[in-house]
């Protein structure tokens, strides 16, 4: 209990420090003296660009890690993340449709169309996965995983076709979107999507104990009073909504949803009362920290944050795995 609490507090401190350091990083240096002068350029950059971007990074990173943790608990499989079960692919396909066909379809001809269309894609793909896996009123976990893999393959095949017919400009936009960026962070984006990005914090206490029992096995959980069908339905919908909101706003960001829950699990075990919340904290802090670095390495340009999360997190993740191997 003490170790879990200390690690959770440590993750919270890391997240706060990441947000503070990220707010000071960027092509323009911010001086505290000019920060609170309303008409200064530094104040406008800080409050209108950096703060919403940092908040977006915290919520997106947290939601992706939380979704990965929830998916791994539902499938009782540590290599699952929303990308493997087709939800990320659904978002990517609908974003690709908006980017490539946007010029021909009037209502898709704006950046907001890409965001909304991608969000709808994530929701639809989660419904599709659930629809194909359901039989005689029951949802088999193995069928759920296979349905997700099939939807994944279909979506990426369709993205391949769209990439083939796209012109040079559309292909570049599609590639950039797939690398992920927090550059679109704004107060209007946060206002529209913040509910979907912060609701994991509020629902975690209501599903954590049921997930702890679900780890024992579906039959055992059912005997212990857990409504497993309801739990599976809610979990898939939560993962679909949360991941759909994230991917639609910032593009495709890998690693966070898969590796952050692993890091937390290796540190404090599988108690979902701590695992969900701590994954949210660490995922948010990691993405925020990575974005800050992305903005200074080749300033005034920036590196796509999806590349940075993989470069920063993978070595640390590998070192944790090596420490856990018994023969080392």
Length of the chain: 328
Question: For the chain, how many structural domains are there in total?
Answer: 1
Q: Which domain holds residue 117?
A: 1-324
- Give 97-126 pLDDT, tens digit per residue: 888 887 676 666 666 677 778 888 888 888
CA dihedral 71, 76, 77, 80 (to 10 degrees): -10
Quickly count: other Cβ atoms within 10 Å of residue 13's Cβ: 12
Q: State pLDDT tens for residues 272-306.
A: 889 999 999 999 998 998 888 888 887 777 788 88
**Among 115, 98, 92, 67, residue whose Cα is nearest residue 240:** 67
pLDDT of residue 279: 92
Quote the pLDDT of residue 58: 92
pTM above 0.75, yes or no: yes
3-state DSSP call for residue 316? helix
CATH number at residue 318: 1.10.3470.10
Q: Is the torsion defined by CA of 241, 246, 249, 253 positive or negative?
A: negative
List the pLDDT tens digit at each of the 328 positions of the chain: 778 889 889 999 999 999 988 888 777 777 777 777 767 777 888 888 888 999 999 999 999 999 999 888 888 777 777 777 788 888 888 888 888 887 676 666 666 677 778 888 888 888 888 788 777 777 777 787 888 888 888 888 998 898 888 888 888 888 887 888 887 777 887 887 788 888 888 888 888 888 888 888 888 888 888 888 888 888 888 888 888 888 878 888 878 888 888 889 888 888 888 999 999 999 999 899 888 888 888 777 778 888 887 777 677 667 766 666 655 4
């Amino acid at each position: 209990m003490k170790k879990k609490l200390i690690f959770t507090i440590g993750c919270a401190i890391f997240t706060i420090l990441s947000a503070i350091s990220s707010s000071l990083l960027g092509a323009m240096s911010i001086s505290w003296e000019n920060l609170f002068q309303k008409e200064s350029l530094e104040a406008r950059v800080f409050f209108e660009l950096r703060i919403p971007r940092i908040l977006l990074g915290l919520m997106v990173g947290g939601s992706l890690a939380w979704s990965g943790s929830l998916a791994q608990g539902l499938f009782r499989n540590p290599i699952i993340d929303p990308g493997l079960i087709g939800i990320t692919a659904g978002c990517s396909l609908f974003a690709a449709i908006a980017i490539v066909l946007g010029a021909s379809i009037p209502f898709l001809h704006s950046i907001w169309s890409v965001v909304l269309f991608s969000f709808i894609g994530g929701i639809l793909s989660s419904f599709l996965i659930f629809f194909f896996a359901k039989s005689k009123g029951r949802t088999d976990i193995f069928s759920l995983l296979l349905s997700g893999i099939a939807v994944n393959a279909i979506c990426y095949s369709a993205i391949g076709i769209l990439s083939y017919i796209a012109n040079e400009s559309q292909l570049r936009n599609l590639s950039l979107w797939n690398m992920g960026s927090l550059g679109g962070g704004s107060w209007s984006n946060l206002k529209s999507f913040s509910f979907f990005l912060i609701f994991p914090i509020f629902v975690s206490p209501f599903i954590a104990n049921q997930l702890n029992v679900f780890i024992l096995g579906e039959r055992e959980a059912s005997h212990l009073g857990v409504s497993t069908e309801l739990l599976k339905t809610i979990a898939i919908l939560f993962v679909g909504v949360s991941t759909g909101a994230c991917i639609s706003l910032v593009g495709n960001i890998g690693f966070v949803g898969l590796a952050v829950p692993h890091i937390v699990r290796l540190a404090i075990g599988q108690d979902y009362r701590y695992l969900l919340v701590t994954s949210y904290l660490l995922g948010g802090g990691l993405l925020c920290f990575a974005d800050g670095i992305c903005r200074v390495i080749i300033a005034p340009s920036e590196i796509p944050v999806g590349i940075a999360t993989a470069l920063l997190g993978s070595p640390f993740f590998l070192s944790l795995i090596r420490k856990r191997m018994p023969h080392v």
